[in-house]
């Protein structure tokens, strides 16, 4: 049930034959200045690029090409033994119950994982070139370069030089995978950005979710303090061929922003979370979530993000597990499991380290563990109010008991009309189809 269909390697390894001679540089064929000269990697671009100067001819990718590229290249690295353990041999089961939490027994992961090398009580920390970061990985761990833009045209260059001057965003394997096809998206890898959300990078991640066009492919993000283990900006992604419990949780609409982004809160889920969807454009959705994340970061509130449903939905989960742990407030039974509730666990994919926890896995246990990560109801409300202030809207339902869109003080009808015109010019939709009604996001998820 959880098996992902294997796909053949779609891209051959010929670029490796042309890549830097392994005897030059530091000898590790890394991404540093020592080894990057002459390095090549396939480039998947969902925008029009003119790379003719580099002597590269794009090929027209077939449908679902990104998926075959990710899985084909991942499978190739798997065959080459680049992973620290065989994730396909890990036992997995669905825990009986209402929510369908997924339990995986993964005894190898924490033993062989790259150790966390920074403080867990600070969400924002500077990049430290001396600690492990993705410029130190071997080039064989990289799968391809990924570029995104608004025009939606997809181009593929099988063997594009890595341009050290124009830091590429890359997709790499996670050598400690928790599922088939587990990869990392590393925005502008050579710019050495610390693990912190910025508007451009979240938009890139959202583009990847849209391009992958498979609801079973999700991207996740862990902030520092919410179980990121490397302070070098990265998103994770993998395929799990079933809905996550988080995705199935009912939600209650709280507000709609002036840009048409609908914000809801999850109901009956152990971790209090916000759900963002809609917007006049992909960027509206992405920017709203980025605004919220930047607020959380600046206020030292750790959080996780899940991008799901082909980029139509973004879940934001502020959390306080590490803080409670430091204060000795997490129950000993939960601590004993040594499970760190990062984005995948919070979404309902429980990666368990001990056989007894796997064998005794129950919905109740999963719930108890995740509930420890959640903000209290009071704190969640407080944080939401501040997020809404930053985004420029209020929790209308709660304040007014209605779903009517309140006019944002800075957002007049004129502004919304202008935005609608912008949407029209991009979509070619007749203006009459662009409602000025209270829920302009309905039917306007035009990029999907």
The set of catalytic residues is 234
Find the shortest distance in angstroms from Cβ 26 to Zn ion: 3
Find the shortest distance in angstroms from Cβ 173 to Zn ion: 18
Tell me which H or E stretch contains 318: strand 313-318
366 by Cβ neighbours in 10 Å (0-12 / 13-18 / 19+) ranks as: buried
d(CA 35, CA 39): 8
Tell me the sheet residues that pair with 103: 93, 350
Output 37 or 298, the one with its CB closest to Zn ion. Answer: 37
* Residue in the structure block whose two tokens are 């969902």: 46
- 58, 156 in Cβ contact below 8 A? yes
Q: Which of 30, 95, 274, 307 binds Zn ion (CB under 5 A)?
A: 30
From the list 30-38, 141-149, 215-223, 304-312, the region that binds Zn ion by CB under 5 A is 30-38
Which residues have C-beta within 8 Å of that of residue 131, sequence separation ≥ 6? 117, 118, 231
Provide the greatest CA pair distance for the chain. Answer: 69
Query: Taking CB under 5 A as the rule, does residue 35 contact Zn ion?
Result: yes
SS3 223: coil
Find the shortest distance in angstroms from Cβ 129 to Zn ion: 13
Find the shortest distance in angstroms from Cβ 233 to Zn ion: 21
Output 29 or 319, the one with its CB closest to Zn ion. Answer: 29
Residue spans of alpha helices (H) in 239-342 = 245-248, 282-298, 321-326, 332-336
Query: Taking CB under 5 A as the rule, does residue 26 contact Zn ion?
Result: yes
- Gap between the terminal Cα atoms of the chain: 27
Query: Taking CB under 5 A as the rule, does residue 32 contact Zn ion?
Result: yes
Output 36 or 87, the one with its CB closest to Zn ion. Answer: 36
Query: Taking CB under 5 A as the rule, does residue 25 contact Zn ion?
Result: yes
Find the shortest distance in angstroms from Cβ 14 to Zn ion: 22
Query: Taking CB under 5 A as the rule, does residue 33 contact Zn ion?
Result: no
- Size of residue set near Zn ion by CB under 5 A: 6
Output 136 or 426, the one with its CB closest to Zn ion. Answer: 136
Output 48 or 114, the one with its CB closest to Zn ion. Answer: 114
Which residue ranges make up the site for Zn ion (CB under 5 A)?
A: 25-26, 30, 32, 34-35
């Amino acid at each position: 049930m959880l098996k992902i269909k294997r796909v053949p390697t779609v891209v051959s390894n010929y670029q490796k034959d042309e890549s830097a001679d392994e005897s030059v540089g530091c000898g590790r064929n890394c991404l540093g200045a020592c080894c990057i000269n002459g390095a090549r990697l396939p480039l998947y671009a969902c925008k029009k690029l003119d790379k003719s100067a580099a002597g590269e001819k794009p090929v027209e990718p077939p449908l679902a090409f990104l998926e075959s590229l990710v899985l084909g290249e991942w499978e190739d690295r798997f065959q080459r033994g680049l992973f620290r353990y065989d994730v396909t041999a890990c036992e997995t089961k669905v825990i009986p119950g209402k929510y369908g939490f997924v339990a995986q027994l993964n005894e190898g992961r924490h033993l062989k994982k790259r150790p966390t090398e920074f403080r867990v009580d600070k969400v924002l920390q500077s990049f430290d070139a001396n600690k492990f970061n993705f410029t130190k990985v071997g080039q064989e761990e990289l799968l391809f370069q990924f570029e995104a833009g608004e025009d939606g045209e997809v181009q593929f260059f099988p063997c594009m030089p890595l341009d050290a001057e124009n830091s590429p965003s890359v997709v790499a394997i996670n050598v400690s995978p928790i599922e088939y096809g587990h990869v990392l998206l590393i925005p502008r890898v050579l710019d050495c950005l610390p693990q912190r959300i910025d508007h451009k990078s979240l938009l890139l991640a959202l583009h990847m979710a849209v391009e992958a066009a498979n609801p079973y492919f999700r991207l996740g993000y862990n902030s520092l303090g919410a179980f990121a283990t490397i302070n070098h900006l990265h998103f994770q992604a993998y395929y799990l061929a079933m809905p996550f419990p988080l995705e199935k949780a009912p939600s209650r609409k709280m507000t709609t922003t002036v840009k048409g982004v609908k914000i809801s809160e999850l109901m009956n889920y152990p971790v209090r979370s916000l759900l963002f969807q809609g917007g006049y454009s992909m960027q509206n959705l992405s920017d709203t979530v980025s605004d919220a994340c930047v607020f959380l970061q600046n206020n030292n509130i750790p959080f996780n993000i899940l991008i799901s449903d082909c980029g139509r939905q973004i879940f934001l989960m502020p959390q306080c597990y590490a803080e409670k742990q430091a204060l000795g407030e997490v129950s000993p039974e939960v601590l004993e499991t040594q499970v760190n509730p990062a984005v995948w666990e919070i979404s309902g994919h429980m990666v368990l380290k001990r056989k007894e926890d796997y064998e005794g896995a129950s919905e109740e246990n999963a719930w108890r563990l995740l509930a420890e990560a959640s903000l209290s109801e009071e704190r969640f409300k407080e944080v939401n109010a501040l997020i809404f202030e930053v985004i420029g809207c209020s929790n209308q339902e709660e304040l007014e008991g209605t779903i009517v869109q309140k006019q944002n003080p800075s957002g007049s009808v004129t502004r919304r009309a202008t935005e609608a015109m912008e949407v029209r010019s991009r979509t070619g939709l007749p203006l009459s189809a662009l409602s000025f009604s209270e829920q302009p996001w309905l039917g306007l998820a035009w990029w999907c």
